[in-house]
Amino acid sequence: MARRSRTATILAAVAPLATAMIFLPAAPAQAAEGDLSCSATLEFTFDPALRANGSSKVTISGDLTACSSPNGKHADLGSGRLQGTGSATATAGGLNPCRLLISVQGDGTIGWAPNGTSTFDWKITHDPHSGGIEFSANVTGGELNGDAVTLVEPGGTSNPGCDTEGLSTLSVQAQVAFN
């Protein structure tokens, strides 16, 4: 009798979960393949040098090389030249070498080889978890329109002395994914 009671109690507890699982969509077996992946060398220039409680204009330029299209939709895009502009503000307190919490917004274009262009919006924000910065972008027109742009495993180097002289340059090497 005790055994039957325990079995009924377990079934009563599991039944709502099993019923809910019938109506939930199944998770995909794997993540969708991306549209394009490239190696990137990016250069951010701040004028005037960005300091705590200050602002500056920002330019971004760089090269996207060794591009490949995992899903095959953009196999014709082999490399690109990226250019953009924006504005930046900063407050004190970051854990990065410049000790700044920065916020940047801008837009730009990518000229693709052998042919095509993309427009994009981009921003840099403070990452509260790592104390560093986080880059995000979205393609707003042309090739890859609608894709989110992600920097994968970025490595960055700021100008020497930025903690006292302000942030004037930031060089970034990364893989860039368009999804």
**Mean pLDDT value of segment 27-32:** 33
Spatial distance between the Cα atoms of 35 and 61, rounded to a whole number of angstroms = 22
Contact status, residue 59 vs residue 85, Cβ threshold 8 Å: yes
Radius of gyration from C-alpha coordinates of the chain: 23
- What is the model's pTM? 0.77
Write the pLDDT tens digit of every residue in 124-178: 887 666 656 788 899 999 999 999 998 887 788 899 998 889 999 999 999 999 9
pLDDT of residue 93: 82
Q: How many CA atoms lie within 13 A of 164 on its CB side?
A: 2
In angstroms, rounded to a whole number, what is the distance separating the alpha carbons of residues 141 and 128? 31
The full set of domains in the chain, from first to last, is: 33-178 (2.40.128)
